[in-house]
Structure 1
Amino acid sequence: MSTDADAIRRALQLADPRLSRFDPLPRIISFDDFDEGFCGWTQLVGNYEHTLDAMLPGYAQHTQSMLSSCIAWEFGSHGAADGTYSLKVATRPRKGAQNVTVKRLTFRRRGPIRWEFYFTFKPEANELRLSETDVRSFGFGYDLQTGDGDGNGARVMPHFRFLNARDGEHVQRWQFKPETTPIIPIGNEGKTISHYHLAPEGWVDLPGGEQKLCYNEIPTKVNWHYVCFDFDLETMRATGFRCNDRVFDLSAYEPIRMPAMRNLWCMLNLFMFAETDTDKRAFLYVDSVCLSGDF
């Protein structure tokens, strides 16, 4: 049974149009409305030491995300789901190129967390054709590490991607990644290592993960979608995932796991990415993000 405090909290959320579209856990950790700016989301820069040339090629391709009104050549601006601006993650115009945006936090207590956001995706509209298979994938995930009081600790990286197309053929399936690429030393001081965890190898189909998302009739139109991902920082396990009206079974889901790294204690990073399947840019737009916890 809800307490009076729970009822008041819920009533306040429902009275705020920006929050009422979400179903947050009791404590809102961060709420990002990109009409107010970048809200801490930034470029995922790869590790380097002494020279930027030490950065792994996967990271070297990344650029800064931008605030966008989702412009279109016919009608000027599409705007966001709410207000004018969304966060736009754009790849380079090269088949297989990726781009990533990240928000870097730490957690103060291990417990359930919930990540909700509204998004849409499309390729650059530089042809008068639908182009529905030009975006290869988009996705999101956490980069987590236990606290320094947890013995040797662990770094855990839950990943999801929606594989929209491969080599021009529609796939439309959610996938996860249980393993990363080999960890590589960076520099010669023994302080920095790196691995490109979004490499195309190693993605696994989520059982029952087929889903047809709304993709409108011309390449400049967009429709906004909803995602909710539940995770438990105590057990470091995924506990729920839904997109729009679909709730997916996570019984086979496994995040990337590896030993803790020397200076990442209590890390709570969120990232989102886009990937193109053709020699044109792919765009991921994110209207708003709500991260909440039950602590």
Structure 2
Amino acid sequence: MTPSLEQSALSRFDPLSRIIFLDDFDRGFCGWTQLVGNYEDTLDTMLPGYQQHSAPMLSTLPHWDAGSHGGVDGDYALKIATGPRRGAQNTAIKRLTFRRAGPIRMEAYLTFKPEATELKLLETEIRSVGFLFDLQVGDRTGAGSERVMPHVRFLNASDGAHVQRWQYKPNAVDFVPIGTDNKTVSHYHLSPDGWVDWPDGEQRLCYNEIPTKVNWHYIRFDFDLAAMRCTHFQCNDRTFDTSGFESLRIPAMKNLWCMLNLAFFAEADTDKRAFLYVDSVCLSGEF
């Protein structure tokens, strides 16, 4: 029997027993959207980090020398594009809640490139690409309840130097009051400070020889919502030690119970747009 397109898409992943979502962007945006910062009364109260964000796009990975690259098994991928400014960032997010605090597994196929405006490799034009979860326990957890935000990035380059290292971000960022009603706060947790090198986290990824060629990379990140800890991280053929991994932790917030948000992000290292492409994402769990 010929497998369906959904079965074919799922066969490239190794999910847990329940599929929470399987997003292949040949079917559209699948609920992924712009990460908008908190504001009150006027958009001008939004923190500057969030003001630079724009909506993700659907892309065939077009380029000037051979047309469109396309996705892993179709035409489209989700494109997250920064502005043409050194240090510029952009993010795409999907917002859910969970039904039980158990193990979850995120798997994705992604690739990255800067805007191909020169006839050379441009391998150090992207500073970083990565992902994060924004999680909060259920409303009956009790005293000491937390909002937990595991952040992972691949630091590709820094100030023109090729770094190629995985990092995580364990430290909370200060909250800033928004507006005058004392109801809204915000924090730009993607700020460039506070990242920590993953032990033995160096990895040379496949980055093809001209600026329009891409190769897709597999990533997997396992997390236990009951213990609120990372249990597995893998990129391609490499599995990394998670025993020292720490998530950004803050006290639980009054209106975010059972939150299960996932985001991908990109950051430019030069005054040129950085592109992160996500072909497909599978989030599964033991619920």
Q: Same fold by TM (over 0.5)? A: yes
Residue 37 of structure 1 aligns with an amino acid whose one-letter code is G
Task: Find 1:231's aligned residue among 220, 223, 239.
Answer: 223
- Residue 177 of structure 1 is matched in structure 2 by 169
Task: Find 1:23's aligned residue among 14, 35, 49.
Answer: 14
Task: Find 2:160's aligned residue among 154, 161, 168.
Answer: 168
Residue 133 of structure 1 aligns with an amino acid whose one-letter code is T
Give the alignment of 1:240-279 within 5 angstroms. 240-279=232-271
Root-mean-square deviation (CA, aligned residues, Å) is: 1.3
- Residue 137 of structure 1 is matched in structure 2 by 128
Using a 3 Å threshold, how does the CA distance of structure 1 residues 15 and 94 change in structure 2: closer, same or farther? closer
Any idea what the Cα deviations from partners look like across 1:85-105, whole Å, max 9, x if unmatched?
000000000000000000000
Cα pair 1:180 1:195 within 8 Å, conserved: no
Task: Find 2:47's aligned residue among 53, 56, 74.
Answer: 56
Residue 137 of structure 1 aligns with an amino acid whose one-letter code is S
Deviation at 1:180, TM superposition (A): 2.8
Q: What secondary structure does 2:44 align onto?
A: helix
Give the alignment of 1:81-160 within 5 angstroms. 81-152=72-143, 153-160=145-152
Extract unaligned runs of 5+ from structure 1: 1-11
Matched residues, number? 284
Extract unaligned runs of 5+ from structure 2: none
- Residue 35 of structure 1 is matched in structure 2 by 26
TM-score, with length taken from structure 1? 0.95
Deviation at 1:42, TM superposition (A): 0.2
Structure 1 consecutive aligned stretches of length 4 or more whose deviation exceeds 3 Å = 12-15
User: What is the CA–CA distance in structure 1 between the aligned matches of 2:169 and 2:251, rounded to whole Å?
Assistant: 17
- Residue 8 of structure 1 is matched in structure 2 by none
User: What is the CA–CA distance in structure 1 between the aligned matches of 2:150 and 2:5, rounded to whole Å?
Assistant: 30
- Residue 205 of structure 2 is matched in structure 1 by 213
TM-score, with length taken from structure 2? 0.97
User: What is the CA–CA distance in structure 2 between the aligned matches of 1:253 and 1:16, rounded to whole Å?
Assistant: 33
Q: What secondary structure does 2:50 align onto?
A: helix
Deviation at 1:190, TM superposition (A): 1.2
User: What is the CA–CA distance in structure 2 between the aligned matches of 1:220 and 1:180, rounded to whole Å?
Assistant: 37
Q: What secondary structure does 2:54 align onto?
A: coil
User: What is the CA–CA distance in structure 1 between the aligned matches of 2:4 and 2:155, rounded to whole Å?
Assistant: 34
- Residue 185 of structure 2 is matched in structure 1 by 193
Q: What secondary structure does 2:37 align onto?
A: coil
User: What is the CA–CA distance in structure 2 between the aligned matches of 1:275 and 1:192, rounded to whole Å?
Assistant: 27
Any idea what the Cα deviations from partners look like across 1:249-289, whole Å, max 9, x if unmatched?
01111000000111000000000000000000000000000
